[in-house]
Chains A and B, each alone.
Chain A
Amino acid sequence: MLDRNGIAQRIAQELQEGWYVNLGIGIPTLIANYIPDGLNVEFQSENGILGMGPFPFEDEEDADLINAGKQTITALAGASIFDSATSFAMIRGQHINLTVLGAMEVSDTGDIANWKIPGKMVKGMGGAMDLVASADNIIVAMSHTNRKGASKLLKQCSLPLTGVKCVKKIVTNMAVLDVTPEGFKLIERAPGVTVEDIKAATEGRLIVDGDIPEMRIA
């Protein structure tokens, strides 16, 4: 099984040269720590920056330079800053190559729920609905099951949806899966996890085609 960093490390392997990438809050943020050497990618934060750099050193924090998680950040050489409408033009206009975000539930048709639990405080969707509705390439980073052990990979989402038929790939602590018209297609197993484990933890349609390799995490 992978921990949060392992999930981030595996997703980092999906990055390609020259990509513009939007990372959501939580596990996705950790992906920036695992960019392969020599690969040029640029991170967008939807509050209005491209070329987001690492956190600042202590005493160098700038209140006027934050990411969408409201954390203090830095801007790399070559960064650009813009207003919120321009930022979402990049997103809606499909100029962003990859969006990675967390989820509470994903359905085997690619629906995603990650913004609201009925009966609990509603905080809002932020930019998640815009991101999932427009991205060509969406990877969900999440644990395979919830805290009660129930599957988060479902036939149908039970929670209010963030978007429909949009998730393309899921990386969990147990597996890498593609969302296909026939359901979740198992691509890789996490170290120490069997196909049977994954079947038991997946409620939605699961396609297991031949031998499933174990992930390679350096």
Chain B
Amino acid sequence: MNKIVADSMEALAGITNDMTLMVGGFGLCGIPENAIAALVKLGVTGLTCISNNAGVDDFGLGLLLQNKQIKKMISSYVGENAEFERQMLGGELEVDLIPQGSLAERCRAGGAGIPAFYTPAGYGTEVAEGKEVKDFNGKPHILESALTADYALIKAWKGDRHGNLIYKGTARNFNPVMAMAGKITIAEVEELVEPGELDPNFIHTPGIFVQRIFEGSHYEKRIEQRTVRQQQSLS
């Protein structure tokens, strides 16, 4: 198996206007920085983006918003982005807000061949409007459908040409479930290694879920909330 493509532009081949994309990451942690930059360059518009967040004004999916490439966002939390707010209030951007756990499970279900599932999350709230309600063990649940995407853009720490991936720290987040749910999944990694270098016992995403892989470059890894504690003084 050799799924390696030369760079981010080659990786995005086939992405056209009005497609649905999943984009991994939580906040700015574990986002596919190179693929997002390439999408800006590619200039495709009318995109539906499924991503937990929408980046910040000048980084992450915020770059696509600035460029007016996104028609609809499907997210759980979108609070850190003024351009997002402007487009949403102006009616330029459709937004579908989904409880975070339901979003993750809908992606997982999409990749796992489960068309829908019942969850208690959102019962009795506006999230439940128009959805089937069913009691299990005396507790009401709502029916949520699976999500899939034309392309999933994900980011891992290390990967090999078979598409096997491992993630680092909490940069894992939505990446593994979105890898499963993309019809074509494009993985960018910080380090491309030879097959066999990754211990099969510790693979997070098996290569079967990945169609294209490339080594990214110039990772900025921007931190949204830099919080530190004071060094204890030496006495």
User: Contact partner of B170 among A57, A64, A128, CB < 8 A?
Assistant: A64
Q: Once the chains bind, are B76 and A58 in contact (CB under 8 Å)?
A: no
A125 interface neighbour in B99, B104, B124, B231, Cβ under 8 Å = B99
- Cβ contacts B207-235/A at 8 Å (1 or 0 each): 00000000000000111111111110000
Cβ of A121 < 8 Å from any Cβ of B? yes
Number of A positions contacting B (CB below 8 A) = 53
Known contacts A47-B170, A72-B226, A88-B105; 7 further A-B pairs (Cβ under 8 A): A46-B101, A72-B223, A72-B228, A121-B79, A124-B77, A130-B121, A163-B124
A66 to B173, CA, bound (A): 11
B-chain residues with CB within 8 Å of residue A75 when the two chains form the complex: 169
Given contacts A64-B29, A91-B101, A123-B77, contact A83 B173 (CB under 8 A): yes
- When A70-B27, A124-B76 are in contact, do A84 and B123 touch as well, CB less than 8 Å? no
Pick the most buried of A57, A64, A163: most chain B CB atoms within 10 A of its CB: A64
Q: Do the beta carbons of A55 and B228 come within 8 Å of each other?
A: yes
Q: Mark A25-63, 1 if CB is under 8 A from B, else 0.
A: 000000000000000000001111100001111101111
- When distances are taken between beta carbons in the complex, the residues of chain B under 8 Å from A129 are 99, 101-102, 121-122, 125, 127
Contact in complex: A48, B101 (CB < 8 Å): no
Interface set, chain A 59-113, CB cutoff 8 A to B: 60-73, 75, 81-85, 87-88, 91-92, 111
Give B129 Cβ to nearest chain A Cβ, in Å.
11
User: What separation, in Å, do the CA atoms of A72 and B108 have in the docked complex?
Assistant: 27
Chain B residues whose C-beta falls within 8 Å of the C-beta of A49 in the assembled complex:
170
27 A–B contacts, CB within 8 A, in A order: A46-B100, A47-B26, A47-B29, A57-B230, A61-B223, A61-B226, A61-B227, A64-B29, A66-B224, A72-B223, A83-B204, A84-B26, A84-B174, A87-B104, A88-B104, A92-B105, A121-B85, A125-B76, A125-B99, A127-B101, A128-B99, A129-B101, A129-B122, A130-B99, A130-B102, A130-B119, A160-B126
B171-A64 in contact (CB<8A): yes
- Cβ–Cβ < 8 Å partners of B177 in chain A: 83-85
Please tell me the size bucket of the interface on B. 35 or more
Chain B residues in 8 Å Cβ range of A71 = 225-227
Within 8 A of A (CB), among B110-157: 119-127, 157
